[in-house]
Each structure stands twice: as structure tokens, then as C-alpha cells.
Amino acid sequence: MKVPEEKLHELVEEISLFNEIDIRDIPCIDLYMDQVTTFFDDRLGHLKRDEKDSILTKTMINNYTKDKIIIPPKSKKYGKDHMILLILIYNLKQILSINDIKSLLMPLTKEIIANDNISLEEIYSAFIEIKKEELSSFHEDFENRFSSIKEKLLERNKEEYPKLELLLLVLSLITQAYSQKRLAEKIIDTYFNQPK
């Protein structure tokens, strides 16, 4: 049995699709908590690995506010800046711990509260551009990675076990993700975490 390469390519295409919330789709009016959670479920629900998973809950939002990761709501309403911060948190928490996210975003929220000179829309737009570039190169990177694995197995006469290709592919992807996660953590530790 051979690895179903067509199915693998479909999975890569699915991952490579850009599915982030466009800045123009973020409501310009302030929303109550229930409206915020509904918005996120509607816009990012397709990213859930399991139907029981939550994109964003009221408890999460309250904890982010309590931990000063997002700016406090105004009259129990959340504006565009809140929404952008929540989208960034959602993306960051896929890889980073809540403490690392707090180290990254707390200085930003303090700056927003203090002088309002920071444009979260500009930060978000730059993030969207970077994410699009990363996703477009993901497909090519995958092809190179998978070809390399197949060559290594051929050299060792191990091509008769197709699950070995998949195992090595997962190990390769995890190694890359781990390296990138560690570098992100080192940057946070070096430039964002304040000495105790």
C-alpha cells in the first residue's frame, strides 16, 4: 500500500488556505460579550479540530482582561481594538503559553491605555500580510520535505512500509514547529520578560 499522496496534497491545500478574519470584517460597532463569542464562533469555527472545542469563551475573555492582556471593555462592550487583540491571542495561544502571550501583549495594552498612539489595525494588517506569505510558501516547503523523506526511505530500501513515510513526515513537521516555538520563546525571554 502506498501513501495516498493525493489526500496529503488535499490536506496541505486545506492548511494553506488563508482563513484569517479580514480587518474589514471586524465590526466597527462595539459588541457585548455574547456577540463577541458568537462572532468568533462564526468566523473561526471551521478551525476547530473537534466540535467540542471552543474558539473563545466568556471565561477566557474575562481572564484576558483580568490579566491585562487586553484592554478593559468600555461599558461592558468590546470595540475593534479588543477584537484585534482577541484574534492575535487566538493565534498566539495555538503555540505559546498564556504567560508568554501576557509578556508579549501586556506592554502593548499598557501603551494603548496610556497614550493611544499605537494602531492595532496597522499591527493586524502587517500580521495578515505575513501570514499570507507564510501560508503561500507552506505548500512548497511541504513538497520539498516529503520528497526528501521519500528519497531517504528509498536509499534504505524501506519504501515497503508507507506509514513510515507519514511517521517521518509528522516528526519532520514537529521538529520544525518545535524549533520555531523555541526561537519565539527565546525572543520573548530575551526582549519581553522583565527581570524579576
| Residue 161: pLDDT band with limits 50, 70, 90 | low
Instruction: Fill in the amino acid letter for 12.
Output: V
Number of domains, the chain: 1
- Examine the pLDDT at 48 and tell me if it is beyond 70: yes
- Examine the pLDDT at 46 and tell me if it is beyond 90: no
| Residue 187: pLDDT band with limits 50, 70, 90 | very high
Query: Per-residue pLDDT averaged across 80-96, rounded?
Result: 95
- Examine the pLDDT at 72 and tell me if it is beyond 90: yes
DSSP state letter for 70: S
Residue 87 lies in a domain: yes
- For residue 114, the model assigns a pLDDT of 80
How far from each other are the two terminal CA atoms of the chain, in whole angstroms?
57
| Residue 18: pLDDT band with limits 50, 70, 90 | low
- Examine the pLDDT at 118 and tell me if it is beyond 60: yes
Range of the domain at 132: 5-191
The span from the CA of 180 to the CA of 164, in Å, is 24
CA 89 to chain centre: 8
- Examine the pLDDT at 152 and tell me if it is beyond 90: no
- For residue 40, the model assigns a pLDDT of 95
What are the phi and psi torsion angles at 122 (to 5°)? Answer: -65, -40
CA 71 to chain centre: 20
Mean pLDDT of the chain: 89
Residue 148 lies in a domain: yes
Residue 34 lies in a domain: yes
- For residue 164, the model assigns a pLDDT of 86
Residue 196 lies in a domain: no
Residue 10 lies in a domain: yes
- Examine the pLDDT at 159 and tell me if it is beyond 60: no
Cα dihedral: 82, 84, 85, 87 (round 10):
120
Percent of the chain exceeding pLDDT 70 equals 93
CA 149 to chain centre: 27
Query: Per-residue pLDDT averaged across 127-150, rounded?
Result: 90
The residue ranking higher by pLDDT, 13 or 26, is 26
